Chain A
Amino acid sequence: MTDVLEAVDVGYTYPGPTPTIALEGLELAVKDNEFLAVLGPVGCGKTTLLRIFAGFLRPTKGSVRCGGAAIDGPGWQRGYVLQEEAIFPWMTVRENIEFGLRAKGISPEERGKVSGELLTLIGLSAFADAYPKELSAGMSKMVEVARVLATDPAILLLDEPFGALDAQTRARMQDALARLWEQRRKTVLFVTHDAEEALYLADRIVVLSHRPGRVQAQFDVDLPRPRSLETRFSAPFLLLKRQIWEAARDA
């Protein structure tokens, strides 16, 4: 397996009267088709790391590469789902999903086909022509995920997509994302502060330390897929969860 995303000795300092060192000496490599969760406390630089990979921030130290090439600005090859709600409320659900295809100059027929498939996959076919105001917060986040999937990027960068949801909705969305990922294997870098969420979704978990963020511990998650409610209460799951909690506590 090759590394598709790499961070070598990455440091990032936010400028200002009191510069904030968000990341320091961070080493990370994401393998092809791997679902990697980056777990860390609020303010540990997780979002900074993701924004560097997305191309919106340049590391102040070290380098980041995607498929061996240096990352130079944002692009559709790394589908980025922001932490904030970023669904376009003035477009219908279908137009949202087709936006990236439009940017690529894909014909309307082809766009319709792709969006139709994705809508079925996330179970929102009935809402194709609705405006996002009619969707719940969880569903609009799934539309955002489908929107980056539409252009078929090799990599997904997901920044706490379900952070703002209640526990039940969050679990449902995790299932939806897991199903989506099992159908459309991608390299995923998933940022979260929720250990259980990381465990349920990821192949591997990287725990970041407090600011400045660096890699504190790593865990391979060898739980069988597809995962279900049973997984959440299985002995290996709970054991790993305990180990992660301990690692996070020491961070």
Chain B
Amino acid sequence: MRVRRAVIALLSLAVIYGIAAEIGRGRLPDRIWMGSHYVENIQLLPTFRSLAEEGSFLIESNILVDSIAVSARRVLFGLVLGSLAGILLGLATGWAARVEYLADPWVTFFRFTPALALLPLYVVWFGYGETSKVLLIATNVAVVTLLGAHQGVRGVPRVYLEAAASLGAKGWLVFRKIVLPLAFPDIFASVRVAAGLAWVTIVVAELIDARMPSLGYLLALAGAYPRVPTMLIGIATVGALVLVFDLLALLLHARATRWMKRAA
């Protein structure tokens, strides 16, 4: 049902766009003032035909595929690294807070610190290469997943901990068999959010430090020309990749939470 709804929504959006593009063809201005000069032959709303031409060029020249591979690799590395660090830290702080009933003002501090502001700092610290980009994603991801894990542990209902204690369970067993399964949905939700955020981060990071090949570079290049069909294809590609990541995550989630009562 949800897949069908999503397909219908996407299709109707595509149809509306197609109609708008056909209406706009020949009617929209084909040159725009760029602040210092005119750009000729601009397609403000490229038709499907010109999108298809541009798309097949980007695919045949391997530009798109290479860009996806490079950017996805960065996102994946950053996501795994950041999730591991964030979840482990969040579990630890959540558990400590549970035991000691600490207030958590530092959580607020991190939550609202935009990790993209770290980019210049990371470039200075880690150089222009892969490291700074992957670490930037990892930092972003870590903050979000840390909060998810922290809140997940904090939210474990008292009754389960008491029942476990009454059955003689302590320490590691309680953590592994009671706390982790209960914190999982929160952790998972945070990883999903973090995956989306990772894509935002990488595209922006690659826009600033634009190198070939990458999706951010593709967009930066398209902006320099400017070439609207390339931009639209780049944006749609990032959107599709976020969707694919999310779908994979949902499949994993469904498997890991078979025990839950299904909402009617």
Q: What residues of chain A have their CB less than 8 Å away from a CB belonging to chain B? A: 54, 56, 73-76, 78-80, 82, 84-86, 88-91, 99-100, 102-104, 131-133, 144, 147-148, 151
Give A75's nearest chain B residue, CB to CB: B168
Q: With A89-B260, A90-B182, A151-B168 in contact, is A56–B162 under 8 Å at CB?
A: yes
A15 to B166, CA, bound (A): 24
- Our pick among A73, A82, A90, A102 for the contact of B159 (Cβ within 8 Å) is A82
Q: What residues of chain B have their CB less than 8 Å away from a CB belonging to chain A? A: 159-160, 162-170, 173, 177-178, 181-182, 258-262
B258 close to A88 (CB less than 8 A)? no
CB distance from A85 to the nearest CB of B (A): 8
Q: What 15 additional pairs, Cβ within 8 angstroms, besides A74-B165, A103-B164?
A: A54-B166, A76-B167, A82-B162, A88-B163, A88-B177, A89-B261, A90-B181, A91-B259, A99-B169, A100-B168, A100-B169, A102-B173, A131-B259, A133-B259, A144-B163
| Number of CB contacts from chain A to chain B under 8 A | 72
Give A78's nearest chain B residue, CB to CB: B166
List the 9 shortest-distance A-B pairs measured between CB atoms, nearest first: A76-B168, A100-B167, A103-B169, A86-B163, A80-B166, A90-B181, A74-B165, A103-B168, A90-B259
CB distance from B160 to the nearest CB of A (A): 6
B258 — which chain A residues lie within 8 A by C-beta? 131
A12 to B65, CA, bound (A): 70
Q: With A103-B173, A131-B259, A133-B261 in contact, is A88–B168 under 8 Å at CB?
A: no
Q: Which residue, of A85, A90, A99, has the highest number of chain B Cβ atoms within 10 A?
A: A90
B181 — which chain A residues lie within 8 A by C-beta? 90
A144 — which chain B residues lie within 8 A by C-beta? 163
A102 — which chain B residues lie within 8 A by C-beta? 169, 173, 177
A76 close to B261 (CB less than 8 A)? no
CB distance from B184 to the nearest CB of A (A): 8
A86 close to B259 (CB less than 8 A)? no
A99 — which chain B residues lie within 8 A by C-beta? 164, 167, 169, 177
B260 — which chain A residues lie within 8 A by C-beta? 89-90, 133
A88 close to B160 (CB less than 8 A)? yes
B182 — which chain A residues lie within 8 A by C-beta? 90
Q: With A84-B159, A103-B173 in contact, is A89–B167 under 8 Å at CB?
A: no
Give A88's nearest chain B residue, CB to CB: B160
Give B181's nearest chain A residue, CB to CB: A90
A229 to B159, CA, bound (A): 34
A73 to B165, CA, bound (A): 9
B177 — which chain A residues lie within 8 A by C-beta? 88, 91, 99, 102
CB distance from B177 to the nearest CB of A (A): 7
Q: List 15 A-B contacts (CB under 8 A).
A: A74-B165, A76-B168, A78-B166, A86-B163, A88-B177, A90-B259, A91-B259, A100-B169, A102-B169, A103-B167, A131-B258, A131-B259, A144-B163, A148-B166, A151-B168
